[in-house]
Amino acid sequence: LEQQSQELDFIKIGGTSNNEMAKLGNRLGADYIITGTYEKVKFEQIKKKSRVSDKVKISTKASAEVTFRLIDVATTIVKFAKTYKQENNNSVETLAKDFAKYVSDNIVETLYPIRILSSTGSDLIIGQGGDSVKKGQKFAVYQLGRELKDPYTRESLGREEIKVGLFQVSEVKPKFSHGNIIEGNSDLKSGLGLYRYILRPYKDNKMEELKQQQQQKKKKAHENNTKKIERLRNESESDW
C-alpha cells in the first residue's frame, strides 16, 4: 500500500498522461479526472507617486493563461480541453476564483447540460437553480439529433444540436427554476417530447454591442480628459 501511494503521488505531480491519470481515477473511484497547467502567470504592482505630495498610489495587475483537460477514467479519452486567458486589476485570489468558475461552468455544461423537466401550460421547469441561474436570464433551446462520431477513432462526439427556441427564467428555486419559452415551436410550448431538448447559455448580441459601445465611449472620454490635463499642465509649466 505504501508503494502504491508513492506511485499515486508521483502520478499526481509529474505523470500527466491520460492512462496514468485514469489509473489514479480508478483507485479513487472517480468518473472523471480534471488536470490543469498554468502556461503563463504574471502579477505586478504598479506604484505612482503624486506630483504634489509624498503620497504613493499602489495598483495591482494579475494575468494568467491556463490549459485544462477533462479525462474519462473508464476510456482514458479526453472529453474536452480548453485554454483560458484572463486578467484583472484586483488580485491573484480573484483571478483564481474566475478560473475556478469558468472551469466548473464548462464541465457542468459539457457533461450535464440543463434539461427541461416538465411543462404546465406555458410554464416550464428546468433542472437547475440556486446561484447558477438568475431571474430574467435567457437560455438557447436546442433539440438533440443524431449521434456524431469521429471518423477516425469512432469516438462519440455527442449528439447533433439544433437551435429551436429561446427560454427565459421567471423564478429561481434552490434546485430548479421556472420559466417560459419566448421564442420556439409548438412542441416546446405544449411540452411534447421535452426529453429531446437541452439548454445552453444565450448571448444577446445586441447587449454585447451595447456594452462595447459604452466601453468605447468611456475610453474616448478618458483619452479626452487625459489630453485636457496634459494641455493644462503644459500651460501651467509655460507660465513659469
Residue with cell 480541453: 81
Over the stretch 106-146, which tens digit does the pLDDT of each residue have? 888 888 889 888 877 678 889 889 888 899 999 998 988 88
> How far, in whole angstroms, is CA 124 from its chain's centroid?
25
Over the stretch 1-42, which tens digit does the pLDDT of each residue have? 666 566 667 666 655 577 777 776 666 677 888 888 888 888
Over the stretch 161-200, which tens digit does the pLDDT of each residue have? 888 889 999 999 999 999 988 887 656 655 556 678 889 8
What's at 45, amino acid-wise?
Answer: Q
Closest to 95 measured CA to CA, from 84, 81, 105? 84
Q: Given this model, what pLDDT does residue 170 score?
A: 93
Q: Which residues of 137-159 are buried (b: 16+ CB within 10 A; e: fewer)?
A: ebbbbbbeeeeeeeeeeeeeeee
Over the stretch 51-102, which tens digit does the pLDDT of each residue have? 777 787 777 888 889 888 888 877 777 888 888 888 887 777 888 888 888 8
Classify residue 202 by its DSSP letter: -
Closest to 149 measured CA to CA, from 140, 160, 133, 138? 160
Question: What DSSP letter does each residue of 61-117 carry, written as one string?
Answer: EEEEEEEEEEEETTT--EEEEEEEEEEESS-HHHHHHHHHHHHHHHHHHHHS-EEEE
Q: Given this model, what pLDDT does residue 240 score?
A: 46
C-alpha cell at 175: 434546485
Closest to 108 measured CA to CA, from 92, 93, 136, 127? 127
Distances (CA, A) of 113 to 30, 41, 83, 141: 20, 31, 21, 11
Residue with cell 481515477: 25
Is a pLDDT exceeding 90 seen at residue 105?
no
Distances (CA, A) of 170 to 117, 135, 179, 183: 15, 5, 5, 15
pTM of the model: 0.60
